[in-house]
Amino acid sequence: MYVWALCSLIIVLHASCQSNSDDERPYPAAGAYGELMGPGGPQRTFSSDELDKTCAWVSGGPDDKTQHHNLVTMYDGLMLMPWAPESSLYGGLTFFDVSDPCQPKVVGTKTTDVMRETHSVGFSEIDGSWAVVNHGEVILGSERPFEGGVLFWDVSDPSQPVEAGLVKFPDFAYPDAYAFVVLSVFWQGNYVYAAMADGGIYIVDATDPKEPKIANRYLFDPILRAGQVIAVGNTLIVTAAEQARAVLLDITDPIHPKPIAGGDFVPVDSEGKPRKAYFSNLAAGHLFFTRKDNGGGLIVYDIREPTKPTYVSDIRTDGKGGYVFMKDHYAVAGESNHAVVFDISDLTDIKELNRLTMPGDLDTANPLGNIIVLSVDDKADLDNAAGSGIVPFLEEVDVKGPSVTWLHPSDGATELPTSTRFGLTISEPIEPKSAWTGSVRLYESEKGAAKGRVDGAINTQDLVINFTPNKSLKPNTKYTLELPAGGIADPNGNALEQTVKAEFTTGAL
């Protein structure tokens, strides 16, 4: 089943510049990130009669024989669908033009025999555009017939994606789908964090995506079946797959995670009973667990203070938890037999709005503009449908821009380590290319933007944006993080409407 269960695609945005100097170096205009290859998100309106009904099916192509799909995401104005079965016999990337979502058009596709089931996606700009996904391959005649780790793609030209580099994890073991396989990945700065189920967290040095290397490994005691992994600022969030546990780690030193006091907790429901979750996701400083114990639904925890994770609310359904993705005030969860759309505008009173169905094991449902893409990772109806279906769920085209929903560290934080990364969450997934040097800025407050500019890597995955300075910050110095209006934008080109600024101060060395 479900990242957002087995292997996971992650692609993250990364932008780097020159080293710091006192010379005046004005930032480029926030919205000048260049022309996109594709036309962007869905641009079609729907009548009320068209809502909640599949209007198109999407497939990876002729080689996509089992139609095992998971999430989709947008990149370079196109919808990217990674596809691969759990067994890692083959897989690939396919890019679609979904400007008319009921008539999707394939723009590019590439098949590989070294990719497995994928549940998270991120992108990186390092002398080209890169994507990292889960790697898996079958080694016939070997004592260990399955190998796996993470696989990097060059997606500089989405019409012709190219496999680039891979790194294998020595204790990868399949066919057990939950013990020693990669379940999700997250890219921050030069490192990719890979959740290896019972095998802990592998930390991959991705400075050169063509030659990634294992930098370190973190093991939990007692063992945590690591499913979802998310890096935001100096905090690494790890939640268990099909267990009731979550752990928050301090990654001030990015390759040597440390436990956060109070950050190892068991999610409970409104009755105070521990409940297993299939997976989780992060929005506005809150963790959304997809309940897999005594029903489906969501359990929500506030983790804005990592030392004090706090229960907020839960909602129970008659489903079976899969993956959950959020956009604005909607959370959409796959629950095996159906997908559920929740209203999360009031986190203390979550409401079920409607349900969607398609043939197969429906674990993933991605909101994108005014549509939802449903995907099954098993039991697809191969005679009548593909593994993913496009369903209109709102009548009007999306015209609302993203907003910042959480800063981590918080505005006004002091005594920050000089190795600090700055994370934030936004209200909806954005076009990754819109998060770049012009739209996510860090500079010394006293010198101002032009003279105090700090260069670094900008990574975005789902609702998270991270800024990682290229070198250590100065001690006892105040810095400003700025997201100018008109910069980061959603897939429909709707940009941030109001400038966001926050100030932080470092401590002594």
- Round to whole Å and give the CA distance between 419 and 108: 39
The rounded mean pLDDT for the chain is 92
Cβ 174 vs Cβ 441: under 8 Å = no
Angle, CA 220 vertex, CA 219 and CA 222 arms, to 5°: 135
pLDDT tens digits, residue range 301-348?
999 999 999 999 999 999 998 999 999 999 999 999 999 999 999 999
CA distances from 33 to 26, 123, 462, 465 (A): 15, 15, 19, 16
Which of 2.30.36.70, 2.60.40.1220, 3.40.50.720, 3.40.50.2300 is the CATH number of 404-505?
2.60.40.1220
What kind and span of H or E run contains 388?
strand 388-392
- pLDDT of 9 above 60: no
Nearest residue to 390 via CA among 371, 365, 369, 370: 371
- pLDDT of 2 above 70: no
Cβ 497 vs Cβ 504: under 8 Å = no
- Round to whole Å and give the CA distance between 496 and 404: 9
Per-residue confidence (pLDDT) for residue 133, from 0 to 100: 80
- pLDDT of 15 above 80: no
- Round to whole Å and give the CA distance between 502 and 505: 10
Per-residue confidence (pLDDT) for residue 6, from 0 to 100: 34
Q: Comparing 53-392 with 404-505, is the CATH topology the same?
A: no
pLDDT tens digits, residue range 344-377?
999 999 999 999 999 999 999 999 999 999 999 9
- Round to whole Å and give the CA distance between 282 and 403: 15
Domain boundaries, the chain: 53-392, 404-505
Per-residue confidence (pLDDT) for residue 136, from 0 to 100: 84
Per-residue confidence (pLDDT) for residue 132, from 0 to 100: 76
Per-residue confidence (pLDDT) for residue 140, from 0 to 100: 64
- pLDDT of 7 above 50: no
Q: How far is CA 193 from the centre of its chain?
A: 12
- Is the overall model pTM greater than 0.75, yes or no? yes
188: left (phi over 0), alpha (psi -120 to 50) or beta: beta
The CATH number of 53-392 is: 2.130.10.10
Per-residue confidence (pLDDT) for residue 123, from 0 to 100: 79
- Round to whole Å and give the CA distance between 154 and 133: 11
- Round to whole Å and give the CA distance between 368 and 392: 10
pLDDT tens digits, residue range 16-61?
344 444 578 999 999 999 999 999 999 999 999 999 999 999 999 9
